[in-house]
Structures are given as structure tokens and as C-alpha cells.
Amino acid sequence: MSTPDYDLVIVGGGICGAVIAKTVVEQCARKKKFPRILILEAGRATALSADKYDTYVEAYHEALVKVPNAPYPASSSAPQPDVLDIRPLQDAQGRPAVSDQGYFVQKGPMPFGSDYARSLGGTTLHWLGTCLRMLPNDFRMREKYRRSVNWPIGYDELKPYYERAEWDIIGVAADVGHQYYPGIEKGDPRKFFKSANVDKFPGGTYSFPMEEIPSSYLDQYLAKHVDDMTVTLPAGYPGEKEHKFTIRISNTPVARNSTPARPDYKVVGAAGNADRGQRCEGNSSCIPICPVQAKYNALKTLYELIVRYPYALGDGEKPGRRARVDIRSQCVVTQVLHSTGAVTGLTYKTYYDDGSPATDHTVTARAYVLAANAIENATLLLASGSAANSSDQVGRNLMDHPLLLTWGLLPENVGAYRGPGSTSGIPAFRDGGFRDTRTAFRVEIGNWGWNFPENSPYDTVLDLVGGSKDGRAKCYGRQLRKELGRILPRQFRIAWELEQDPEARNRVTIDDRYKDALGKHRPVIEYDLSEYVKASLPWAAEASRQLFARLGMTEKRRRPTYETGDYSHYDAGDAAQVRYKGKTYWVRGAGHVVGTHRMGDDPTDSVVDSHQRSHDLRNLFVAGCGSMPTLGTSNPTLTMTALALRTGDKIAEELSK
């Protein structure tokens, strides 16, 4: 047999691929093994130096609409989904329609409302950075609530990997004492975080590596007005009792640099310039881009990996005595070649400029990792003769956190549009007996006014100068500044992030009619919400009503009124509308793309095992949020990073043999 080109080839230079590469290099080095690793990345590597990263910042400044992918250039060779391409999936007569407007081909009945980035660094370039651990019950939904499926591993098994993810990879800022977990030790977080690593955390008393990012003035205002209030939510079926929840505003763990909590933690600055981004400076543009990289992105891990590690962990410059990590950007993997239970190679296309001919290549390795994001992993496997799919689960169980937004104008100035996108949330609805009939949800408090639902401050300015079609009296100069000063700092919105359950019908497929410029299949998506999810929409809306009433925002209002009140509304033109029990709700995507190659012990019902190894192809690992069987109410990347560390350990163990 010929010698493989590499020990390990990883598809995708996002956080998942970067973490696995880093872990393999580190763990192998401990055994004096120095693997050769190749990362194939579809997008451009523009931002690996701090100066080049600034071109993204400039693109962001120039963009008219600041959606998540605004700073990252579109490419026909490595196209990416964009939330601006989301369309209602009905024709003028209200009949179902397919939309192939953007990169996704959306077959509905609901549009899938999230995007991802296809540039080196991946979607962490424009994530918010919320880093919540999943709750123990999230891993055992079937056992506890007779819903969804259980994971093959539980919270306790993942806990040491959460700690490594928070300390060694992402750098999470939070205070254990300020966390609140419903149902766990009466909300006492210490047991939840208790560590088995007593050498690092004496007595098992866990602490995050960095001090918490201070709660915003808005968070403090809310805590003053709604902390300890009881929200009562009605029964939904005969015999069910009403449910009561105690509201507590809780500071959120985030991937954002602050002050080290202990002297043994060194803050990681920007990729290519460690002096930048050592502290969050409140630039207030975390989505779509942190100008100084105070927020974690995968470029930081990749930079460390290619610039420092091979020398630091290896045996100087001696050939074969240091790890070799090659990153090849603008290389789109198109096929997983396989035979008799193993992957035999990957084919990929290299492009230089959009439109110029791409060149074809094949690469071989001892082991392979797909880490191209849940939707791309599934598309790639399906396009490879339905590889690793004896269970027929590849592409299925696609999930997100459907978001219900509510927003209003508070009676007082709360300093909106300052600081990170969110610094606190309301965890009260994350767990409880109600999960046997309706989905849990988490409340994210937004610091950026009505930016998400109303494209403010831009649309507010348009309203005031009379540029909107609603056009009130024109307002310019000093009066405009005064009005903006009155309105913008009082804008308030919350996102009700609903847990979605896995359903086989929610899926990614491929269709030979839909290919991109390089001939790679585009993802074809079928997506809907289950009754289980929909049952929580009226609850979220009612909880919002009670919170808003407590805050003095009872009047229903519409722009451009700009008086105190509740401005949440549904517009007929909005893409993702959900009818439930006679009411219409407007649901957005959260960017949390999960579930397309789920893990499990049973190969007939899952794609990978608990180490994210394919049940069918022994040298293939399919990694990322796609492996998560359920997603609870935590933003998924921290859990995905913990899983990637575990997978990296496993691969290193095997490569070191």
C-alpha cells in the first residue's frame, strides 16, 4: 500500500477543524509523535494576519445592511448562505413554493433562517460568542421527558472537556456564582460546575479563566425591575396545571476577553497581533465582526497552530521531529472516496479567482475529519454516494433555535447600543416538567436596541427624516439628534430562543439540478417546526407580555410612534411565519445549525458514535454541531468544542500507536 500523503486530513478551517487539529498536535507531542496534518478550507484565508482582517472590518463599515455575512465576501466558488436571501415559501396564491434565491434551495414549508460563513475561521467570525453549557437533562430527553433521544454520553462525561474548551480553546469570561441553572441544586451553580480536576481547581471549586463581562446598564435596570417576579404560564391541555417561573437575570458566559481571573491564564489577542483584542472595548459589532478580535474566533487557534505550535511542541527544526500543519485555502472538498468500510481519499477543487477554471486534486491520509459545518458535512456525504449513511440519518434531524423576537420602548434611558450584543439572559424556562409537552427556551437580552427586528438605528433615522414610507414630519439637525437621543437608548428587545426537537423530516438533501459554480451540490433544505416547538410560542409570547407589563410597556405600538410601549408585531411579508392555534408568530433563525449526522450507540439510528467516528467508515470522523442529537437551550458551539476535544484525543491516541 502506498504511503498516505498525510496522517490526518481535516475538511474545514472553522472552530471544529481547528480544535481537532490543535488537540491532535498537542496530544501526539506528549508521546513524541509528530503528525502531518492538512486542513482543506473552501474559503479564502484573507484574515489570518491582523492587517488583512481589517479588510473585513472595512467591508462591514461599507455594508448598507449589517447582516452576519456582510463583512465576508461572497464567492461563486465557495458560496455561503445569506439571511438576505430568505424568502416566504408561498406563491402569490399562497401555494407552497421552492426558493433557490440564495445558496440554499429552500423547499419549506418554512425557510431555514440561519446562515454560516465560508472563509478561513468559519462562522465564529460572526458568532455572538455566547458559551453556555448544556444542562444534564438536555442529554437525556428521552429518559427524562419521553421526548427526542438520549445522547450516548452525559453531562458528567463531557464536563472535563467543557473545562478545556473554556480554558484552553475559547477563553470564556464569566463568574460561576452569577450563573443560574433552573432545577439544579435549587439554582446553586457550584455543584453544576464542580470540577474533578482538583490540581487546577482546589477542592473542585471551578472558576472561568476570565472575569465576567460586566452586565450592561440595561441588564441592571431589568434586574431591578423584574428579578424575582413570578411569570405564570397557562396550562395547555386538560388536566395540566398552570406553571410558575421565577425570573432571574443572569450574566451570560461569553467568548470575549476581559481580565484574567487567575494569574495562570494568559489572554489571547488577535490572530497575527497579540497586542490587539486583549480586552472587549465595547465596539458593539460582535455580530458581524469584532474589529479588534476581543471576541474569540477560530483564526486565533489556527494561528497558534501554524505559527507557534510546530516549533514549541516539536523537537526544534529537525525534519520529522515536529508536527506539520498545512492549511490550504480556496480548496473545496467535493467527494469522500471510500471502499470496504474505509475512506480511501478526498477529492477537492482548487480555485484562484471566481470564474477561472478550478484544478482537481486527490489527497490521502490515515484518518479523515469532516468539520465543514453541519449542513456542508451532510451535503458532502450525500454527494459521495451517500457515504456513511447506512442508517439513512445523514442530513436528517436538522435543528436550530427558532427565535421569537419581542421588542418595545422602555419609559427610561437604558443605554441601548452600547457594549456586546448580549451580556445577560433569563434562564428560568430552560428546564422543568413542562418539557414533556412543550419545548424549553432561553431568553437572551439584547443590548442593541431594535437592530435585529427593525434594522435600527438606521430605520429609526429614516423614520425621523421622513424617508420611510410611513414618513412622519421631517426632522433634521439638532432636533434629529435630540429625537434620536430620546428614542434609541430606550429601545429594548429580547429573543426567546426555543429548543428544537430532532425530526427526520427536517433535512438536508442534494439534487443534481442545483449545483454551484464548481459543480458542487448546493444544500436542499426541508424544514418545519413540530407541534412540540410550536406549543411554546404562545408561552414565550405570554411571558413577554407579563415582563413588558411589569416594565410599563403595555400599549401596542408601531413605528414611527416612538412612545413607550410594546412594538412587537408580525408583518405579512415576513418570511418565516408560523400559524398556531389561530395566531401568527414570526420566527427567525439563530445560526445554530445542529443535528445532520447525529451521534448514538445504535448504528441503525445514528451516523457517528460518541467520538464522532462514522459507524460505517472506520477512519472517518464527522465532527461538529451536526453530531449533537439534541441541542437543549444552549448555543451549541461550546458543547461542540468539548466534543471536538474528545474526538481530537481519540484520533491522537490512534495516530500515536
Ligand X SMILES: Cc1cc2nc3c(=O)[nH]c(=O)nc-3n(C[C@H](O)[C@H](O)[C@H](O)COP(=O)(O)OP(=O)(O)OC[C@H]3O[C@@H](n4cnc5c(N)ncnc54)[C@H](O)[C@@H]3O)c2cc1C
Spatial CB neighbours of 513, under 8 Å, sequence gap ≥ 6: none
- 524-527 vs 105-109, strand pairing mode: parallel
Q: Is residue 508 within 8 Å of residue 596, measured between CB atoms?
A: yes
Please give the residues from 595 up to 634 whose contact with ligand X meets the rule CB under 6 A: 624-625
Query: 12 or 291, CB closer to ligand X?
Result: 12
Query: 9 or 294, CB closer to ligand SF4?
Result: 294
**Rounded Cα gap, residues 215 and 227, in angstroms:** 14
State the minimum distance, in angstroms, from the CB of residue 280 to ligand SF4: 3
Please give the residues from 371 up to 390 whose contact with ligand X meets the rule CB under 6 A: 371-373, 376, 380
**Rounded Cα gap, residues 74 and 117, in angstroms:** 9
Q: Segment contacting ligand SF4 (CB under 6 A): 14-22, 54-62, 292-300, 337-345?
A: 292-300
What number of CA atoms fall less than 13 Å from residue 579's CA on the CB side? 3
Cα→Cα distances 154→161, 200, 623, 639, Å: 12, 23, 18, 11
Q: Where are the alpha helices (DSSP H) in 79-238?
A: 141-145, 155-164, 189-193, 217-226
State the minimum distance, in angstroms, from the CB of residue 301 to ligand SF4: 17
Q: Is residue 36 within 8 Å of residue 83, measured between CB atoms?
A: no
Q: Is 130 in the site for ligand X (CB under 6 A)?
A: yes
Cell of 108: 419549506
Q: Which residue has the cell 403595555?
A: 554
State the minimum distance, in angstroms, from the CB of residue 45 to ligand SF4: 22
Q: Segment contacting ligand SF4 (CB under 6 A): 234-242, 286-294, 430-438, 578-586?
A: 286-294
Q: Segment contacting ligand X (CB under 6 A): 35-43, 196-204, 350-358, 648-656?
A: 35-43
Q: Is 647 in the site for ligand X (CB under 6 A)?
A: no
- 36-40 vs 6-11, strand pairing mode: parallel
Residue 453, preceding bond cis, omega within 30 degrees? Answer: no
Q: Is 270 in the site for ligand SF4 (CB under 6 A)?
A: no
Q: Segment contacting ligand X (CB under 6 A): 1-9, 37-45, 560-568, 608-616?
A: 37-45
Q: Is residue 232 within 8 Å of residue 242, measured between CB atoms?
A: yes
* The one among 226, 292, 607, 625 contacting ligand SF4 by CB under 6 A: 292
Q: Which helix (H) or strand (E) holds 653?
A: helix 637-655
DSSP string for 536-583: THHHHHHHHHHHHHHTT--SB--TT--SSEE-----TT-S-EEEETTE
* The one among 99, 330, 637, 647 contacting ligand X by CB under 6 A: 637
Q: Is 446 in the site for ligand SF4 (CB under 6 A)?
A: no
DSSP tag of 99: B
Q: Is residue 508 within 8 Å of residue 378, measured between CB atoms?
A: yes
* The one among 118, 338, 521, 646 contacting ligand X by CB under 6 A: 118
Q: Which residue has the cell 441601548?
A: 416
Q: Could you tell which of ligand SF4, ligand X, none binds residue 256, using a CB distance below 5 to 8 A set by kind? A: ligand SF4
Q: Could you tell which of ligand X, ligand SF4, none binds residue 483, using a CB distance below 5 to 8 A set by kind? A: none
Q: Is 220 in the site for ligand SF4 (CB under 6 A)?
A: no
Cα dihedral across residues 527, 533, 538, 543: positive or negative: negative
SS3 116: coil
Q: Segment contacting ligand X (CB under 6 A): 152-160, 366-374, 394-402, 446-454?
A: 366-374
Q: Could you tell which of ligand X, ligand SF4, none binds residue 372, using a CB distance below 5 to 8 A set by kind? A: ligand X
Query: 43 or 449, CB closer to ligand X?
Result: 43
* Number of shown-chain residues binding ligand SF4 (CB under 6 A): 14
Q: Is 404 in the site for ligand X (CB under 6 A)?
A: no
State the minimum distance, in angstroms, from the CB of residue 289 to ligand SF4: 7
* The one among 8, 10, 12, 610 contacting ligand X by CB under 6 A: 12
Q: Is residue 294 within 8 Å of residue 254, measured between CB atoms?
A: no
Q: Is 43 in the site for ligand X (CB under 6 A)?
A: yes
Residue spans of beta strands (DSSP E) within 321-432? 324-328, 331-339, 342-350, 359-363, 365-370, 403-409, 424-426
Q: Is 349 in the site for ligand X (CB under 6 A)?
A: no
Spatial CB neighbours of 242, under 8 Å, sequence gap ≥ 6: 232, 233, 234, 235
Q: Is 306 in the site for ligand X (CB under 6 A)?
A: no
Q: Is 166 in the site for ligand X (CB under 6 A)?
A: no
Q: Could you tell which of ligand SF4, ligand X, none binds residue 294, using a CB distance below 5 to 8 A set by kind? A: ligand SF4
Please give the residues from 232 up to 261 whose contact with ligand SF4 meets the rule CB under 6 A: 256
Q: Is 129 in the site for ligand X (CB under 6 A)?
A: yes
State the minimum distance, in angstroms, from the CB of residue 442 to ligand X: 11
* Number of shown-chain residues binding ligand X (CB under 6 A): 42
State the minimum distance, in angstroms, from the CB of residue 278 to ligand SF4: 10
Q: Is 273 in the site for ligand SF4 (CB under 6 A)?
A: no
**Rounded Cα gap, residues 614 and 597, in angstroms:** 9
Q: Is 419 in the site for ligand SF4 (CB under 6 A)?
A: yes
Q: Could you tell which of ligand SF4, ligand X, none binds residue 286, using a CB distance below 5 to 8 A set by kind? A: ligand SF4
**Rounded-to-5 percentages of helix, strand, coil across the chain:** 30, 20, 55
* The one among 284, 364, 468, 546 contacting ligand SF4 by CB under 6 A: 284
Q: Is 635 in the site for ligand X (CB under 6 A)?
A: yes
Q: Segment contacting ligand X (CB under 6 A): 7-15, 216-224, 487-495, 549-557?
A: 7-15
Q: Is residue 485 within 8 Å of residue 457, measured between CB atoms?
A: no
Q: Is residue 105 within 8 Å of residue 99, measured between CB atoms?
A: yes
* The one among 280, 346, 440, 488 contacting ligand SF4 by CB under 6 A: 280
Query: 422 or 612, CB closer to ligand SF4?
Result: 422
**Rounded Cα gap, residues 641 and 169, in angstroms:** 8
**Rounded Cα gap, residues 255 and 641, in angstroms:** 12
Q: Is 283 in the site for ligand SF4 (CB under 6 A)?
A: yes
**Rounded Cα gap, residues 223 and 232, in angstroms:** 18
State the minimum distance, in angstroms, from the CB of residue 423 to ligand X: 12
Q: Where are the alpha helices (DSSP H) in 194-280?
A: 217-226
Closest CA to 631 of 451, 497, 445: 497
Q: Which residue has the cell 407541534?
A: 531
State the minimum distance, in angstroms, from the CB of residue 216 to ligand SF4: 10
Q: Is 123 in the site for ligand X (CB under 6 A)?
A: yes
State the minimum distance, in angstroms, from the CB of residue 172 to ligand X: 11
The footprint of ligand SF4 (CB under 6 A) covers 256, 280-286, 290, 292, 294-295, 419-420
The footprint of ligand X (CB under 6 A) covers 11-17, 40-43, 68, 114-116, 118, 120, 122-124, 126-130, 287, 332-333, 371-373, 376, 380, 591-592, 624-625, 635-638, 640
